[in-house]
Structure formats: C-alpha cells, structure tokens
Amino acid sequence: MTDEKLIESIRIVPDFPVEGIQFFDVTTMFKNPDAFEEVLDRICALYKDKGITKVAGIESRGFIAGAAVAARLGAGFVPIRKPGKLPARTVSESYSKEYGTDTIEIHADAIDPGDVVLIHDDILATGGTASAAVRLVKSFNPKAVYANFIIDITDVPRSAPMPEDVPVSSILSLSER
C-alpha cells in the first residue's frame, strides 16, 4: 500500500480538541484492515532486528498498534496512561503540550534494566507527550530506547525535542497546514 493510500485512510478533524488544532484521527486507518496491516508491517520491519523486549504504548491510540506490534515482535506490552488509570504503584512524569499540561504514568515494575524498549504513539507533534514518555521509560535505565510514531507532523515546532540517544521513526510525515 502506498503512502498516499494510507494518508487517504486518515480522518482530519479541524479545531479538535481546541480551536486552531488540526487533528489527524488514525482510528479511521485502524478500521481499514489493509491500512492497519500495512502500518503494523512497516513498524515491525523497522524494529524486527533491534531486540525489542517491551513496547510501551502511550494512551490511548498508542495502545492499539503498540500492542499488536509487541505481539508480532514477541515482546511484552506496557501501557503508559493518564493518572489514576493504573491499579498498582506508578511512576509519573508531567509535561507541557500544545493546549495545556498533562501527566502520564507507568507501573513502577513495568521495565527492567535489561529491556530494549520501543515507545509507540500515533502522532508526534510538539513532542511533549513523547519526550515525557522517553523520560519516564529512561528512568528505569533500560538497555536501549526507541520511539516510533505513525505520523510525524513536520511543521509543528518541537517544544520538547527528543533526546539524541533515542532513535525516532515514523511511518508518515505530514503537514498540519
């Protein structure tokens, strides 16, 4: 499947969640079995030889492809959630985003020092959520950390750049404008 076909499967929602934000909704991509399979194939091809032991999916769309990628790679899946959603002891990280501040959490026993972790989410925009997830995962001192996104929105200024020691990949690069 071509990039153009994948892009066609994405719904664009203007002024969501606040006015001025153009939201790229990948749930329409997920409901298309061919597009979803293509996304999973592309992500797994990028990481099949990296020794991934855990995939950490960021709430909530990062859970969908992240869990499927983890299963395909023979890795465990770790949810990164909003506060109060995980039942056991957690570690948290707060961050700024385009339209406010937020906090994410992970179980305190989710990652071991020998793990090779792939952080996955649907969208990379300003980088606030992603860089907070990287800080959170790195606090466990894993062997290596990678970050992957379905879409990199290239014309949004990165307010929170990713650390240089964390390789970042995306399946598609799009412009918000």
What DSSP line would sit under 37-68, residue for residue?
Answer: HHHHHHHHHHHTTTT--EEEEETTHHHHHHHH
Please report the pLDDT score of residue 161 as a whole number: 81
8-48 confidence digits (pLDDT tens): 999 999 998 888 888 999 999 999 999 999 999 999 999 99
The total domain count for the chain is 1
Burial class of residue 136, CB neighbours in 10 A (0-12, 13-18, 19+): buried
Please report the pLDDT score of residue 177 as a whole number: 63
- Inside any domain, residue 13: no
What are the pLDDT tens digits along the chain (177 aa)?
999 999 999 999 999 888 888 899 999 999 999 999 999 999 999 999 999 999 999 999 999 999 999 999 999 999 999 999 999 999 999 987 666 789 999 999 999 999 999 999 999 988 999 999 999 999 999 999 999 999 999 988 888 888 999 999 999 999 876
CATH of the domain at 109: 3.40.50.2020
Taking the model in full, what pTM does it have? 0.95
- Inside any domain, residue 35: no
- Inside any domain, residue 36: no
Domain that holds residue 153: 50-174
- Inside any domain, residue 32: no
The catalytic residue positions are 61, 98
- Inside any domain, residue 29: no
CA distance 109 to 32: 35
Residue ranges of alpha helices (H) inside the chain are 3-8, 27-30, 33-47, 61-73, 128-138
Nearest of 161, 153, 144 to residue 95 by alpha carbon: 161
Q: Is the distance from CB of 124 to CB of 59 less than 8 angstroms?
A: no
Please report the pLDDT score of residue 98 as a whole number: 62
Calculate what percentage of the chain has a pLDDT beyond 90: 81
Helix axes 61-73, 33-47, angle to 10 degrees: 60
- Inside any domain, residue 6: no
